Amino acid sequence: MKPEARRFKCLHCKMLFVPDYRNRGRQKYCSTLECQQASKRARQERWLSKPENRDHFRGAENVQRVREWREAHPGYWKRSPRKSARTLQDACLAQPAATQEIAPVALPEVCPSTLQDVCHVQAPLIVGLISKFTDCTLQDDIVLFVRRLIAKGQDILDQPSSRSAKQNKQSTLYDEQKDPAPGPLAASAGAV
């Protein structure tokens, strides 16, 4: 069994704390925000108390160094941040969360014909996961796969454990359908 870690008293709040295992010999303050700020103040005071550090950034040579750097880098502070390439997710409008509960209904009503109707709220997540599973990005292939998943889920949730052969045959329609074949992207289709 591992021995209990040694605890130390924080120099600021005087509470006991377990130091980080990588700094246990040097950590004198606990991890609360107030104590970390006190630690920084103490470090700065300690650094400035040394005579060689008092005028560290003062003097003619430091002023000249900064002037030369600014001349070599004109407009540095005026640069706008780099903009990343726009992605499909940035171009899509945010979809509001659905607040109404979906009652269990027959399969044709639950499985609309388009992918956009199938994936109301979590479309980017669902489409991304399904495209990974099927290794295709065509919406027609993805909607077929979604229909089979819904049918299989309803079969699992709605059917009792002891089913007749007829029910078993009807509930396995999703198994009889062919998986969408992975293939090259259509010319107009982008990655989802």
Can you read off the two tokens belonging to residue 180?
């969408």
* Residue 190 forms part of a structural domain: no
Q: Tell me, yes or no, if the pTM score tops 0.75.
A: no
Contacts of 109-113 with C-beta under 8 Å, sequence gap 24+, read 110/150, 110/154, 111/146, 111/147, 111/150, 111/151, 113/143
The percentage of the chain sitting over the pLDDT mark of 70, rounded to a whole number, equals 57
| Across 165-171, average pLDDT | 50
User: How many structural domains does the chain have?
Assistant: 2
* Residue 13 forms part of a structural domain: yes
* Residue 12 forms part of a structural domain: yes
Residue 119 pLDDT > 70, yes or no?
no
- Under the banding of pLDDT at 50, 70 and 90, the label for residue 187 is low
Q: What angle do CA 131, 136, 142 make, to 5 degrees?
A: 60
Residue 92 pLDDT > 90, yes or no?
no
Task: Say whether both 112 and 170 belong to one domain.
Answer: yes
Q: Which residues of 52-63 are buried (b: 16+ CB within 10 A; e: fewer)?
A: eeeeeeeeeeee
| Across 46-59, average pLDDT | 86
Task: Say whether both 170 and 109 belong to one domain.
Answer: yes
Separation of alpha carbons 156 and 95, rounded Å: 29
Task: Give the residue numbers spanning the domain of 44.
Answer: 8-75
Residue 108 pLDDT > 50, yes or no?
no
Q: Which of 58, 75, 92 is the last residue of a domain?
A: 75
* Residue 35 forms part of a structural domain: yes
* Residue 150 forms part of a structural domain: yes
